[in-house]
Chains A and B, each alone.
Chain A
Amino acid sequence: DIQMTQSPSSVSASVGDRVTITCRASQGISNWLAWYQQKPGKAPKLLIYAASTLQSGVPSRFSGSGSGTDFTLTISSLQPEDFATYYCQQAHTFPSITFGQGTRLEIK
């Protein structure tokens, strides 16, 4: 199985900050990577797929990059509604997909 490792596990930031979350795959996955946002008690929401494609309706302050084993999710200017948990997910071995352990983004 392909293991996905996110860092950091949690991060504190302020409104307006630029935040970067990293995801590393245990083997190369090309650009078969997605990012999701989840708020407590809610369904995960697809933000980015194919490593850098912004899902329809997602604000442009979210961006993704990377290929192979190393990927990043960047939020250019944090808004109050962005405080949530973020997960990466590999689709290289779809339908057997795996997720990172999550990164909790908290208000400083």
Chain B
Amino acid sequence: EVQVVESGGGLVQPGGSLRLSCEPSGFILSSYEMIWVRQAPGKGLEWVSYISSSGRTTYYADSVKGRFTISRDNARNSVYLQMNSLRAEDTAVYHCARDLCSGGGCNSGGWLDPWGQGTLVTVSS
């Protein structure tokens, strides 16, 4: 089964740091671009970050730029999101997702499948 599983969430104080991990199974991670999306409690979906299949290209939402860093280790089959200088407004469930078409088999990019169930990050004192 093709899936991704996130881990690393928890309770952290404002200004603190946390590192999230995303581990895929059922597909070759190195072939795919990966994305983090977050969902604040009771709210909608917000794109956070993107990393190319090689890891050489990354992008961030303005709301996290300069504070979050996305990375990947294809040999260890993992994608990471290092979150620093956390704020209360970063409180959310963080989902990892695969870009469906980047591994081939369909045209264009930007379709996310599968998504992980997410890991909850709570920023509070």
Contact = CB atoms under 8 A, between A and B. Distances in A.
B44 A87 contact: yes
Nearest to A34: B111
A46 B113 contact: yes
B15 to A, nearest CB: 27
B47 interface: yes
B100 A99 contact: no
A50 interface: yes
Contacts of A102: 44-45
Q: How large is the interface on A (under 10, 10 to 19, 20 to 34, 35 or more residues)?
A: 20 to 34
Given A49-B100, A95-B59, A96-B61, A44 B45 contact: yes
Contacts of B116: 43
Interface residues of B, number: 23
Given A95-B59, A96-B59, A45 B115 contact: yes
Contacts, number: 69
B78 interface: no
Contacts of A96: 47, 50, 59, 61
Contact of B45 (A32, A87, A95): A87
A67 interface: no
A7 interface: no
Contacts of B110: 32, 34, 89, 91, 94-95, 97
Contacts of A91: 108-111
Contacts of B23: none
Given A46-B113, A97-B110, A100-B44, 4 more contacts: A43-B116, A46-B100, A95-B109, A97-B47
Interface of B: 33, 35, 44-47, 50, 59, 61, 95, 100, 107-118
Interface of A: 32, 34, 36, 41-46, 49-50, 55, 87, 89, 91, 94-102
- 3 nearest A-B pairs in the assembled complex, by CB-CB distance: A91-B110, A95-B50, A94-B110
